[in-house]
Chains A and B, each alone.
Chain A
Amino acid sequence: MRVDVYLPLLVSLLFGVFAPRVSRRLPPARATWLLSIGSVVLAASTAIALGLLALTLLGQVPDVASIGHWTVAAMRRHDPVHRSVALAALVAIPVLAGLVVRAAVRRARAIIDAYRTCRRLPNQGTALVVLPEPGISAYAVPGRPGRVVISHGLLTALPAAQRRVVLEHEHAHLEHHHYRHVAVVAIAAALNPLLARLPQAASYATERWADEVAARRTGDRTITATALAHTRLLSRGPVAKPSCAMAATGADVTARVRALLDDPPRGKLALTLLAIAVIGLAAAGAIDASWDLHQLFELVQSASRQR
């Protein structure tokens, strides 16, 4: 309890700092899964740890003590957690709960909205939606079926081989349900602010994943890289976006292009196992701390009976 309970927080801190960098060195599909599973495990174990810390303080409330059949004095004597730490956890819980609920509701609404839009589109049965406008845009919209949207401007600006890259890339997003990974990481990060940098890492990993699928299907990494660079150059200038979003991405297309011009990403088994071990450490810490708290309660119960 003295150490274990802090492991989820410590691991979250490390994961939050290093996972974005490490994930760029892993094959993108694996990086995506590690980020989404890792962020869920870390968010859950952090929530458990905070709950345990808070319980040590709640156990000293007379009403709680009488329900648990121990005395406040016995609980206070055996409490391994400093009061201020437990109090901080107690305060953090409702705040973080509020944040995670808000994030989850927002994501769910956005996804439902996308599904609804896909269902109402006139051209049922075909995935491609062409926007009859000269601008440069291409994106995938999740739904049943999901849609690949491309503007007429981009469609005609690219040679056929590059157009194919864009379409394969967007279809890969739909096929592998990338929006789910991105949403899960965003919700986990809302619960655990130490993971704040992971949503951006996850969306980069999913873009890389789709790039690699497109490269594999077209059989040409250079054309895939070129399509990406070309589209980025075409979309410069008039693309007006809120400036608040500006800081969120940094040189991403350049990095993706470089990765495509490089060899296909290789296994990196040791790095993957290390990441899994680190994530497992947080989960183990939360489980062990839960057991420790259970034993603590039993201890104070018997200590209370002896008096």
Chain B
Amino acid sequence: MAQGRRPSGALESEVLAALWAAETPMTPAQVQESLGSDLAYTTVMTILTRLYEKGAATRERTGRAYAYAAVLDQAGIAAAQMRALLDRGEDRATVLARFVDGLSGDDERALAELVRRNVGDPEG
């Protein structure tokens, strides 16, 4: 993608997801690298600072930079609330937009072939 990324909700989610996926705190440079996209360093910095201010991330000083980590302690509460929403019946699920529903009779072999061709073994 030639043009720079626009700031959006998805971008912030992406940075936060990167913190979640990492096992140890990450500096902005490490976050930028882990995303492997065309995000500018300053953009990553800005988003990390915003996440810290919102209480979604913690940070600690490592050398000259801060290392950021996702705040985990409220995740259980959020998960319980989501589960409660889904457990209140089939109707509740109808307003959620699932990425894949896991119900359909998909052609698994064709899908696996596609994944293998593009990124190697899907299980790997």
Contacts and interface: CB of A to CB of B under 8 A. Distances in A.
Interface of A: 106-107, 109-111, 113-114, 117, 120-133, 136-142, 145, 148-150, 152, 155-156, 159-164, 166-171, 173-175, 178-179, 182-183, 186, 206-207, 210, 217-219, 222-223, 225-226, 228-236, 239, 241-242, 245-246, 248-254, 257, 261
B94 A127 contact: no
Given A132-B76, A249-B101, A125 B115 contact: no
B85 A141 contact: yes
Contacts of B110: 254, 257
Given A122-B77, A155-B20, A127 B13 contact: yes
Chain B interface bracket (under 10, 10 to 19, 20 to 34, 35 or more): 35 or more
Interface of B: 1, 8-10, 12-14, 16-18, 20-21, 34-37, 51, 54-56, 70-72, 74-79, 81-82, 84-85, 88, 90-92, 94-108, 110-112, 114-115, 118-119, 122
A241 B102 contact: yes
A166 B103 contact: no
Contacts, number: 218
A170 B102 contact: no
Q: Determine the main DSSP class of A at the interface with B.
A: helix
A230 B82 contact: no
Q: Determine the main DSSP class of B at the interface with A.
A: helix
Nearest to A242: B90
Contacts of B71: 123
B103 A139 contact: no
Nearest to A248: B103
A129 B82 contact: yes
A21 B97 CA distance: 21
Which of A136, A183, A217, A242 has the most chain B CB atoms inside 10 A of its CB? A217
